[in-house]
């Protein structure tokens, strides 16, 4: 009997050790996906735009900030080629009372922040439209992405300061250019966090498909792994969160754009797809409801999911975003 109890105790201890190791392994793998996603390589369409930018209505130059952050400066071309997207955008805006600058001239600057697992060149097609409306575009690689020398993403904990430093640098050439923030998903959350820290610094912010709090994203991701994981998701979340804190000091529960939204006294536009199952529409609405600015706008993309929220309604959405930013310049 005693021998049987001894075997049971040893079995339970072994099971506990194996369970702890498994949970720790999940924490490491989960934190790696969160902090160090696979770096996306240049795509054919990136190369096409970079190889003949005037054909797309833009001029592109490469830079590196003092922090080492690589970024692209995208300007409207004075003599554009076919520039299909650019011309379509200008045609759409011309149907309203909005006045556009001549080709090659700008009204302001937009800092474009990419999503998790993306890179700066992914925003080149977006820049085609923004440049056509009269905006200089700055496209940085965020930490842990693209060609950034920084190894890990921190979803705003480190990025906000880097964006502020980058903004100071790019403003040297155009010190009076109004500055806007634009971001998608992770980038949209960081745009909100950055704008909230110093609202008077920015002319406006546009956030697309942003999460309301990072801990909710991590928890929902854990639940989606396996039916069993749904029951263990709180434990798995805490494992990922603990390892993330140990590795880079990131506490997912502290990254809360929904709280930062209460400090957005500047013109603010929130865009979200109503078919986004990764970050549901309700999270975008929660952010919007907290914004105190009198100049705020919510744009629902009908049928838009998380990955293609901009592409789903591009004919109407891009003119709406550009019109919002141009209107924000009005006194």
pLDDT in tens, 65-120: 999 999 999 999 999 999 999 999 999 998 887 889 999 999 999 999 999 999 99
pLDDT in tens, 6-43: 545 554 444 444 444 444 555 667 778 888 999 999 99
Ordered structural domains, the chain, with CATH? 1-35+216-253 (no CATH), 43-213+255-328 (3.40.50.1820)
- Return the residue matching tokens 């060149």: 121
Average confidence (pLDDT) over 132-144: 98
Q: What is the pLDDT of the chain when averaged over all its residues?
A: 89
pTM metric for this prediction: 0.90
How far is the C-alpha of 226 from the C-alpha of 247, rounded, in Å?
A: 26
DSSP state of 313: T
Residue 15 vs residues 7, 29, 30, 296: alpha-carbon distances, Å: 12, 21, 22, 54
pLDDT in the model for residue 223: 58
User: Is the Cβ–Cβ distance between 141 and 68 less than 8 Å?
Assistant: no
Helices and strands: H and E segment counts in the chain: 12, 8
At a CB cut-off of 8 Å and minimum separation 6, what does 155 contact? 186, 189, 190, 214, 250, 252, 255
- Phi, then psi, of 220 in degrees rounded to 5: -65, -35
pLDDT in tens, 221-275: 665 554 444 544 566 677 777 788 888 888 998 999 999 999 999 999 999 999 9
**Neighbouring C-beta atoms of residue 253, cutoff 10 Å:** 14
């Amino acid at each position: 009997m005693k021998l049987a109890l001894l075997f049971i105790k040893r079995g339970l201890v072994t099971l506990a050790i194996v369970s702890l190791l498994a949970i720790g392994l999940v924490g490491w793998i989960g934190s790696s996906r969160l902090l160090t996603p696979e770096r996306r390589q240049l795509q054919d369409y990136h190369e096409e735009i970079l190889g003949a930018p005037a054909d797309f209505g833009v001029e592109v130059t490469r830079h590196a900030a003092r922090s080492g952050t690589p970024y692209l400066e995208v300007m409207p071309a004075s003599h554009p080629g076919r520039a299909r997207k650019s011309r379509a955008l200008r045609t759409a805006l011309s149907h309203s009372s909005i006045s556009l600058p001549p080709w090659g001239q700008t009204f302001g600057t937009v800092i474009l922040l990419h999503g998790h697992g993306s890179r700066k060149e992914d925003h080149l097609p977006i820049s085609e439209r923004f440049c056509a409306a009269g905006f200089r575009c700055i496209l940085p690689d965020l930490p842990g992405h693209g060609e950034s020398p920084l190894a890990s993403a921190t979803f705003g904990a480190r990025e906000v300061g880097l964006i502020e430093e980058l903004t100071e640098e790019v403003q040297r050439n155009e010190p009076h250019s109004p500055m806007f923030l634009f971001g998608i998903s992770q980038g949209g959350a960081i745009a909100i966090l950055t704008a909230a820290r110093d609202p008077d610094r920015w002319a406006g912010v546009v956030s697309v498909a942003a999460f309301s709090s990072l801990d909710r994203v991590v928890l929902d991701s854990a639940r989606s792994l396996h039916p069993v994981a749904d029951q263990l998701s709180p434990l798995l979340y805490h494992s990922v969160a603990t390892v993330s804190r140990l590795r880079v000091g990131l506490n997912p529960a502290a990254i809360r754009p929904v709280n930062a939204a209460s400090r957005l006294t500047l013109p603010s536009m929130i865009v979200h797809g109503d078919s986004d199952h990764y970050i549901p529409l309700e999270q975008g609405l929660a952010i919007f409801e907290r914004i105190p600015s009198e100049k705020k706008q919510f744009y629902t993309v009908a049928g838009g999911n998380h990955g293609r929220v901009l592409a789903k309604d591009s004919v109407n959405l891009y003119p709406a975003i550009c019109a919002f930013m141009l209107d924000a310049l009005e006194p």
